[in-house]
Amino acid sequence: MDIVKEIILTTEEQQIINADLAHNYQIVPKEDKGNQLSLFIKETAAKEAVKEELELILGKTIELHPVSADTINRALILYYRTGNSGNTENTSKTESFRSTSQDFLEELIFEAKSIGSSDIHFEVFKDEARIRYRIDGKLTEKYKVEKENYLELVNKIKIKSNLDITEKRLPQDGRINYDDFDIRVSILPTLHGEKIVMRILGRDTAHLSMDKLGMEQKEKELYQEALKASKGIILISGPTGSGKTTTLYASLKELNKVTSNIVTVEDPIEYTLKGINQVQLREDIGLTFTSALKTFLRQDPDIIMLGEIRDGATAEMAIRASLTGHLVLSTIHTNSALGTISRLIDMGVPAFLIAETLKISVAQRLVRKLCDSCKEHSVLKGDEYKNEAFIGLKEHWISKGCEHCHYTGYKGRTAIYEIIPIDSELAQEIKKNSTNLEESISDYTTSSLSGKAIRLVQNGITSIEEVYSIIIEK
């Protein structure tokens, strides 16, 4: 038996076999010598039988190197991640993942879906191309593709997305539809070729619930109170991937009653909700947020949802809609709930109109949680983190990594919210164009995103590294 305590694989080495084959035979690549393939195998396996089967499947001479079960298990968990809903019916695929066949593309999409990836990135550089998955908010390199085969892969994606395969100079957007999920495709011309990002959009709305968003009880009550308003604006802010759209859909699901007319304009439509009239944005033919909103006002709506307030014209129309007796929900890109007010003013919205129409401002982030099985307690050194937010923090928890978290140190994510209802006192400060709105909120220090992030660290739910960017944001 080889004395190997840890197997380290490059992206190219991982591609020698696929995940189904690796898990089925409990094998991990060691070296590819062309016609001969060296593999690590669990020491308790029936090596002769496995050798014969693999030679038949792969068409190569197989050389097996027994290692301990722990070593194999760690490598399989780390490099060949699988999900419960993965497409693993056929464990005898003869095709290498270096292939760019139609089967490879399908395999790749369903693999990404099964392991909980939100996006698939296809990127090309001077000498090579790669494919990365975004899992729990972080990108991880999964495959290398030979550059000469990359164009073929791009064309297959374009065909499936109903896009123009001859257009290589301009960005393109498309969509691929499956039975239980959709994929939004974005293509961007770069220096060495076209970069593609595929966003996986689930259709299952069962998880969309106010109770599952992760708001604290007081926060949920404040937010639900704002949803009961007959007019006004509710804004959700945060960077891309912070869960804004999920919060909006959960809100719409709660508001969706037979007595209300709800219309939305989105880009893209991520979930389809029965009883709600949803419109897909089409800027190429003039169907913008602003033009759609003008039409919505003639559709006798009670509630309007805009996917995003991007500019002053859209903000102005949203304000006008709220002033004429409609409840408007939307998202906006700012760092904090109070930053939303400054952003609207920068867009040209008068402060008195913001004070009059804004019901509640919400900022949110998604934070990876430390794995409970392997996180370790640590004493914080005095000079380790110099930000004033850490003054008085004596101890924290650090990520280590184990089989339960695929050796990432993190398992799952949790949301943190900064929720600010616009009460009469705050509205008066907004009208005055005050630059110190924080002083009008009694518990702002603890209710801010930074305060929530520090509390997660103190309670051992996440690490300082995970929330450091949130804490230093202003």
pLDDT in tens, 360-395: 999 999 999 999 999 999 888 766 676 677 777 778
> Residue 394: how many CB atoms within 10 A of its CB?
9
Neighbours of 240 (CB within 10 A): 7
Lowest mean pLDDT segment, chosen from 10-19, 57-66, 265-274, 434-443: 434-443
Q: What is the mean pLDDT of the chain?
A: 88
Q: Of all residues in the chain, what percent carry a pLDDT higher than 90?
A: 55
User: What's the pLDDT at 382?
Assistant: 63
Which residue type does 73 have? N
Count helices and strands in the chain by DSSP H and E runs: 16, 18
Q: Dihedrals φ, ψ of 313, to 5°?
A: -65, -45
Contact 419, 448 (CB under 8 A): no
Higher pLDDT, 102 or 379: 379
Tokens representing 338? 């109070």
Mean pLDDT, residues 289-297: 90
Average pLDDT over residues 338-349: 93
Please compute the mean of the pLDDT values over residues 322-337 and round it to a whole number.
93
Residue 91 has pLDDT above 80, yes or no: no
What is the reported pLDDT for 197? 97
pLDDT of residue 102 exceeding 60, the answer is: no
> What is residue 397's predicted lDDT score, i.e. its pLDDT?
92
At 87 the pLDDT is 39
Asked if residue 336 has pLDDT above 80, the reply is yes
Which pLDDT does position 386 carry in this prediction? Answer: 67
Contact between residue 236 and residue 307 where contact means Cβ atoms under 8 Å apart: no
SS3 362: strand
Q: DSSP code of 80?
A: S
| Strand segments (E) across 283-394 | 303-306, 327-332, 358-370, 376-379
Q: Among residues of the chain, what percentage have pLDDT more than 70?
A: 93
The pLDDT value given to residue 140: 92
Q: Choose among 80, 51, 49, 75: nearest CA to 65.
A: 51
Residue 260, pLDDT score: 95
Report if pTM > 0.75. Answer: yes
Q: Report pLDDT for 445.
A: 64
In terms of phi and psi (left: phi > 0; alpha: psi -120 to 50; beta: otherwise), the region of 427 is alpha
